[in-house]
Structure 1
Amino acid sequence: MTEVQALEAPRVRLVAVSGGLGSPSSSRLLVDRVVAHAERALLAHGVQAETEVIELRDLAVPIANNLVTGFAEPGLAGALSSLEHADGVIAVSPVFNASVAGLFKSFFDLVGVDALGGVPVALGATGGSARHSLVIEYAMRPLFSYLRALPMPTGVFAATEDWGAGAAGSGIEERAARVARELADAVRAGLAPVPTVDPVAGPPAVDPVAGSPAVDPATGSTAIASPAAPVVGSTATPPIAATAADFTPEARAARERREEHDDFAELMSRFAGTEVG
């Protein structure tokens, strides 16, 4: 990528949270690997990533003070603000007593319930052995689902054996790369223009040829396709575009009644063995 392309490339903000208590920590090592793979995956699609890493060990006292006073000191307030403005999040915690670290949980207890709404999150954990790997599924995934974030399908766990001289064949790089690619794809999906819908005309009609409404690449708006003229000699009924009347409460209620009638008719047909009108 040239300098001009780099300046014109879309930019996203990644925020990584390391819950490790040591310096250095295995959690930070895992964070750095996922971040590096995510940055490369985004750059491969022409997207520049600006990354910030939040070390919770440096915020331990401010986090505790906030829990008892309700006041966030400047450093903690800045970390929470960075998290709330992220396009993608990488969250890694060590495993203590079969769950995430208390410091990690306390930090996310301070995050507003809507602050991460719709934000893709890559989940990771570290521990002494692979038997702790399910912490991602039963402790971390429910937490971020409650915060209305979008946890990636794949989590990455690193045990002690994944580090050091004998870690070459452990697969930690492949696992980190996989969750990073999922995060990068989800972040890029958030950059795509969302088709707009006219509140008066309602949703656009589906183009009978293309099978989907046309989207203006410049504005992201959706053009309503005109029904194709029927072929001479054809008995096919041309498609009818939706109108505002189709989306009134009365119209929706009528559709629901028809659907209930159809469901009841199908059920009765199964019992009677005949069609019910």
Structure 2
Amino acid sequence: MSEFTIVALSAGLNQPSSTRLLADRLTGAAVSALEAGGATVKTETIELRDIAHDVVNTMLTGFPAGKMPAVFDAVTSASGLIAVTPVFTTSYSGLFKSFVDVLDNEALTGMPVLLGATGGTARHSLALDYNLRPVFTYLHADVVTTGVFAATDDWASGEDSLPGRIERAGGELAAKILGSHRAGPVDDYASVPSFEELLGR
């Protein structure tokens, strides 16, 4: 039986927040789709709000600070990533961008990624494709086709309901995870011969 890990990044500034709620819903949809295929799934949600000081310190010093080494490890070793940010002034939040800025440029290469965003009105929905998607394309991530934007009014059911979009996007992420050939983190010492091998024993 296959086992996968999904990590969700939530850049919401409040607790609770609609950004975290969307991240949880997207995670649930992806997990359901994977489990329907017989997979075992582990999940982890990282609230960027909780590590904001560590993000800034890492940016200023150039070295992972505080909880950042564990966060980097969780993100880079995940089978799939869900990234959700609030939209301010038609773009992702400064906290979200700061976190992305301290990631290694090759950390997400080939990583299946599902993008989500929240905002007050649907007028901000284009931020997903004009601001958020290009960032992850630059990082060579494998971004799913459906991004999910949730305005305040979207939490009420409608013809093109938010739950339907969440389910579709979660299914797309699950499909990419199942079809991913991403090698994952490289162990720099995996091919180093043992002491006995060096001595020819």
CA distance in 1, matches of 2:56, 2:107: 20
Trace 1:93-172 onto structure 2 (pairs within 5 A).
Answer: 93-163=85-155, 167-169=156-158, 171-172=161-162
Of 84, 88, 92 in structure 1, the residue corresponding to residue 80 of structure 2 is 88
The ranges of structure 1 where at least 4 consecutive aligned residues each deviate by more than 6 angstroms after the TM superposition are none
Match of 2:169 in 1: 179
1:137 partner amino acid: D
- TM, length-normalised to structure 1: 0.64
Bigger relative contact order (CA 8 A; separation at least 6): 2
How far apart are 1:65 and its partner, in Å?
Answer: 1.0
CA distance in 1, matches of 2:148, 2:70: 27
How far apart are 1:191 and its partner, in Å?
Answer: 6.3
RMSD, aligned α-carbons:
1.3
Of 160, 164, 178 in structure 2, the residue corresponding to residue 188 of structure 1 is 178
CA distance in 1, matches of 2:131, 2:51: 22
CA distance in 2, matches of 1:191, 1:103: 31
1:144 partner amino acid: F
Does residue 66 in structure 1 map to residue 62 in structure 2? no
CA distance in 2, matches of 1:190, 1:151: 12
Contact in 1 for aligned 2:6/2:78 (Cα 8 Å): yes
Contact in 1 for aligned 2:112/2:180 (Cα 8 Å): no
CA distance in 1, matches of 2:100, 2:46: 12
CA distance in 1, matches of 2:51, 2:108: 20
CA distance in 1, matches of 2:181, 2:37: 12
CA distance in 2, matches of 1:142, 1:86: 21
Q: Aligned pair count?
A: 181
The percent identity for this pair of structures is 47
Larger strand proportion of the pair = 2
The DSSP-based 3-state class of the residue aligned with 2:103 is: coil
How far apart are 1:190 and its partner, in Å?
Answer: 1.9
How far apart are 1:74 and its partner, in Å?
Answer: 3.4
The alpha-carbon distance between structure 1 residues 42 and 191, as it changes in their structure 2 partners (threshold 3 A), is farther
The DSSP-based 3-state class of the residue aligned with 2:83 is: strand
CA distance in 1, matches of 2:54, 2:113: 24
1:178 partner amino acid: R
CA distance in 2, matches of 1:175, 1:168: 11
CA distance in 1, matches of 2:69, 2:92: 22
